[in-house]
Amino acid sequence: MAEQHTKSERLRQHLVDVIDQGLEPHSKLPTERDLASEFDVSRLTVRRALDRLEHEGLVYRVQGAGTFVAAPRITKSVELTSFSEDMRARGLVPGSSVLVTETISAGARLGAKLRVSPSDDVFHIRRARTADGEPMALEDTYLNPRLFPGLIDNIGSESLYQILETEYGMKIEWAEQSIHASVLEPEEAQLLSAPPFSPAFYVTRTSFDAQDRPVEYAESTYRGDRYHYELQIHRTR
């Protein structure tokens, strides 16, 4: 676990542990004032920890009554995760096999996505992604070589995002994702061990760092019979 360096984050983590270790839904948590004195912090610090837990859906608050453990909900709202995290969240073991690694000329489309000149080089990685050993998706990832020198020689089965973060200090902050309905072309179907022309998701994603620079552009085709989206959506207030 990463070190928690703020008091409110340490308190939040403590409360997560307490909740996970067997508190029933709708159990009442200690009052904000009690938590403040017990952990020797101000009430505002307690409220910051609870704000985050409420936002994450682990607790709910009722004015005048207290703070309570939320009923676990099956679906979560959409979050930015890697394929590996996504699969683990679904209770599946993620895997990956690299089909292609190459350096190609960006061209107009990829150049625009990654904000490089069309004549510049980009890395291209094609991988088959698996869940519990079964083919789940084909993924073509494109990266700017200037940001990740030498990367293409170090691709293994580890998480690409992990490598970007640990080796290059690159943290992806947000992404634009587009989801289309599609069917598997025969070639894709064969690579995914699925019937040709069966339903599929075609997903494109451009990922950005904290300075809003495009870091990665990826096109993925997911088997529609094995993958779907579950989301919880709220009225914005």
Partner DNA sequence: AAGTGGTCTAGACCACCCG
Partner DNA sequence: GGGTGGTCTAGACCACTTT
Binding site for DNA (CB under 7 A): 6-9, 29, 31-34, 40-45, 47-48, 50, 61-67
233 touches a second copy by CB under 8 A: yes
Give dist(CA 205, CA 174) in Å, integer. Answer: 10
Q: Which stretch binds a second copy (CB under 8 A): 30-38, 118-126, 134-142, 169-177?
A: 169-177
From candidates 32, 182, 191, 219, binder to a second copy by CB under 8 A = 182
Give dist(CA 16, CA 10) in Å, integer. Answer: 10
Q: Which two tokens stand for residue 177?
A: 């994702």
Taking the complex as a whole, how short is the minimal distance between the CB of residue 25 and a second copy, in angstroms? 10
**Residue 65 contacts which entry, a second copy, DNA, none (Cβ below 5-8 A, type-dependent):** DNA
Q: Which two tokens stand for residue 44?
A: 């505002």
89 touches a second copy by CB under 8 A: no
Cβ distance to DNA smaller for residue 15 or 87: 15
Q: Which two tokens stand for residue 60?
A: 């709910």
Which residues 6+ apart lie within 8 Å of 124 measured at CB?
100, 101, 102, 103, 104, 140, 141, 142
Closest CA to 140 of 205, 213, 223: 205
Binding site residues, a second copy, CB under 8 A: 44, 56, 71, 73-75, 77-80, 171-183, 197, 199-201, 212, 222, 224, 227-236
